[in-house]
Amino acid sequence: MFQDFNKVSIFRNRRVVVLDTSPVRNLAYSNKIPEWVKIFSKMKKAGYLFTLSECTFGELLKQKNIGAMSDKEFRNIIGRLKMFLSMTLPVMPGEVDVLRLIRSEPHYNFHDNDIKAISKKAFRMLVDQKINYTEILIEEIERERSEWRNLISNLDQIHSQDSEEFNEISDYRLDMYIKGHDRDRVMDPLLSRRLDLRTRYIWRQYVRSKKKNEPYNVNAPKKANDGIDLRIYTYLALPALIVAEDKGFFGSIENIPSFQKSWIMKPDDLAKSWANRTLKFPEW
């Protein structure tokens, strides 16, 4: 199952669970330790590797730096995360690095120590109370937003001469877009399968940007973080489970016909499935 990055031994035969921002942020406000945290702690002992997404790390760091939560609330988050989070890999590498890990990008030169060192440094940035990283975060967030706008813009250029109406769910151009991931790549499974949900999400948003009535506006302030949300879908390519809690997160992919949707779970559902021995971990 993890044959694609067996050389990176921290992942070998490990079941990776990546946490989105919403369940982690909510740990700040609960008076008691949620039951799912306790079960995740047991899952960690059973060999599961729990880690924060790069986006979750960035959002928590931003909220901490701008004073969006009290010191007590932030200590709640850190204390509860330490109950189940991998201290070997507390923060996952970013999107580009994940693609390198699965050998879809050239110049693969990662080593265990590199990944561990970067991940641990990131978590120390969260715990450290002395340094403000706001300027660095602003630059990174703007870069991610720009990349999202470029994705939509590139599709618009490719299909600028198309007069036929687009379909956001079933379209021969979508099929071509999906298959395009496999060009000049030899992988098993194919990159197109690994990025199924991610690709279908991008296409749907592009098609919605072409609507005559109330089109999706990638430049609208309210849509500024859509590209940041997109990045977490890349972790499904490992494969991995994603833990999220925000209704908007699930609503945004509700109508997308992708087999990977079931790999995104609420924390309580994941915990109960594991406790009941009904959890099916992603497999190709």
41-94 pLDDT per residue, tens = 999 999 999 999 998 998 898 888 888 989 999 999 999 999 999 999 999 988
Top pLDDT among 6 and 29 is at 29
Res. 115 pLDDT band, cuts 50 70 90: confident
Q: Give the pLDDT score at 3.
A: 40
Whose structure tokens read 């021995």?
Answer: 277
pLDDT band for position 4 (cuts 50, 70, 90): very low
What value does the mean pLDDT of the chain take? 87
Q: How far apart are CA 122 and CA 116, in angstroms?
A: 10
Is the predicted pLDDT of residue 32 greater than 80, yes or no?
A: yes
* CA–CA separation, 121 and 127 (whole Å): 10
Helix (H) or strand (E) holding 243: strand 241-243
Q: For 160-192, what is each residue's pLDDT tens digit?
A: 889 899 999 999 999 999 999 998 778 889 999
Using DSSP's 3-state secondary structure scheme, residue 19 falls into strand
> In terms of Cα–Cα distance, which of 75, 59, 93 is closest to 228?
59
